[in-house]
Amino acid sequence: MSELPSRVQELISTPTREEIFKMINSQQDGFTFLDVYTALKNKGINVSITSVQNLLKALSYRGYLKEYNLKKTKTPGRSTIHYKKQHHS
């Protein structure tokens, strides 16, 4: 992971965050929080919803991910936040 910018490397400070980051990197552009969380659970990695959300927000804030809202249905309610990588390793 040494090719990552230092602003991103410093976020990957625990083994759990490293697992979450690896899963984020393996996703296709347009992924959602739930895609990452479900993939981690399916792999048997025990993480909290908050841990995944916090890392996604931090990576977005630091410019590694781009957030965009997408309404999948016409019903009222919040848009689903999708992510795509700005920096490809």
User: Strand pairing of 31-32 and 65-70?
Assistant: unpaired
Domain spans in the chain, listed from the N-terminal domain onward = 6-85
Residue located via tokens 């992971």: 1
Q: What is the predicted pLDDT for the residue at 20?
A: 97
Q: What is the pLDDT of residues 16-40, one digit of tens each?
A: 999 999 999 999 999 999 999 999 9
- Residue 68, φ and ψ in degrees, nearest 5: -150, 145
- Counting as low any pLDDT under 70, the low residues of the chain are 1-2, 71-78, 87-89
CATH (residue range 6-85) = 1.10.10.10
pTM of the model: 0.83
